[in-house]
Amino acid sequence: MGNQVNDLLGRPLRDLRISVTDRCNFRCTYCMPSEIFGEKYHFLNREEVLSYEEIKRLTEIFIHLGVRKVRITGGEPLVRRDIDKLIAQLSNIEEIEDLTLTTNGYLLAEQVEKLQKAGLRRITVSLDSLDEDIFAKMNGKGYKPDVVLNGIKAAEDLGLPVKVNAVIERGVNDNGVLDLVKYFKGSGHILRFIEFMDVGNVNGWARDQVVPSKELCESINKIFPIEPVDANYVGEVAERWKFLDGDGEIGFISSITQPFCQSCTRARLSPEGFFFTCLFANSGIDLKTPLRAGESNTELLTRIRNIWENRTDRYSELRNSPNSPTAGQRKIEMFQIGG
Ligand code: SAM
Ligand code: SF4
Ligand code: SF4
């Protein structure tokens, strides 16, 4: 029915990030600042959100067009009821080579066993600081890092590989970077530092809050010597570095200072069934309406193929250019589209 499809810049469709909910139990300041900042959130109703059957059907169509990696995200995917049932449905699809999930870890300890039983083989957990006060402020709810660390430990006890994502903001949590490195060094988990991005409209992003990966890398190297490692595969987002003493590796995701649009093979599906071809898009394409109106798989596939074939997105490369096609326009929020 399908086959590999390339966009106008020659990039194939390989990854699908599925946001299963726009709701979250955290209010991270860089993603979904608490209502006290004046932003009132309007969440989707249940019937507006794709069912697991609908997600599975769309995923299979994306697979016909070349998708091999699937990530479940949100909002917070573990707040969606019975998320393990979706994992179970997707883990049965043979063509998916890598199925993973990104979580803030708050509900992980209680859910990780059923996620693994459903077929999840690895997991990414976000954790920005080990400092109780800083973490409490950053998650906007006063939660302590212990809860997340317990979730990571529970995954570890089951033998599930964990990647830990930390968003670093200058003047907020940058002085805790070495503590994070020390904590995870030698643990078998891969810690990745993410540059604070200008995703969405509500996080008050400013360029001077970004700590360039190069700067972090240099200060880590002074205390814990590291050297670069080749990427695992073309298009790998994180730049990999390994500890010279053999204690594992760390990664840097540098969307601001070293954009990686040229190898971007990622499609995104929002909870209400909109297809986005870029994290920084200001609009998506509604797949739910035709799906619910009874369109066939072939018709839906043709829609998706046409959109991908005409894709030219490279927001991060054009970020500072007045020629950016999305400059000055309202963007989709991270919690609506997934990381
Ligand atoms: N709630 C889950 C979590 O936090 O892991 C999954 C969704 S969250 C939107 C996915 C990832 O995006 C998280 O690792 C989060 O730290 C990251 N993220 C959110 N806003 C960001 C921003 N403005 N800049 C960089 N990363 C961001
Ligand atoms: Fe929630 Fe994740 Fe956004 Fe934090 S980054 S507010 S945990 S969706
Ligand atoms: Fe891909 Fe858009 Fe990010 Fe560039 S800015 S890497 S095109 S999602």
**pTM recorded for the entire structure:** 0.95
What's the CA-to-centroid distance between 116 and ligand 3, angstroms?
30
Task: Tell me which residue of 242, 251, 206, 203 sits closest to 224, measured CA to CA.
Answer: 242
Residue with tokens 């994180």: 238
Q: Which of 302, 303, 211 is nearest to 1 (CA)?
A: 302
Residue located nearest, by CA, to atom 7 of ligand 3: 314
Q: Does 338 sit in the ligand 2 pocket, CB within 6 Å? A: no
Pocket probe mutation, ligand 3, options 197, 236, 264, 337, max atoms within 8 Å of Cβ: 264
For 11-58, how does the pLDDT look when each residue is reduced to its tens digit (9 = 90+)? 999 999 999 999 999 999 999 988 755 667 889 999 999 999 999 999
Distances in Å between the Cα of 296 and the Cα atoms of 60, 303, 308 are 13, 11, 19
The atom of ligand 3 lying closest to the CA of 264 is 1
**Parallel, antiparallel or unpaired: strands 226-228 and 239-243:** antiparallel
Centre of ligand 2 to C-alpha 104, Å, is 7
CB of 24 sitting under 6 A from ligand 1: yes
Atom of ligand 1 nearest to the CA of 195: 25
Give residue-wise pLDDT tens across range 271-281. Answer: 999 999 999 88
The residue contributing the CA closest to ligand 1 atom 22 is 197
Which tens digit of pLDDT belongs to each residue from 195-240? 999 888 878 888 999 999 999 999 999 999 999 998 777 677 899 9
* 191 has a pLDDT exceeding 70: yes
* Per-residue confidence (pLDDT) for residue 256, from 0 to 100: 94
Proportion of the chain above pLDDT 90, given as a percent: 82
Q: Is the CB of 78 under 6 A from ligand 2?
A: no
pLDDT digits (tens, 9 = 90+) for 137-168: 999 999 999 999 999 999 999 999 999 999 99
Number of Cβ within 10 Å of residue 245's Cβ equals 11
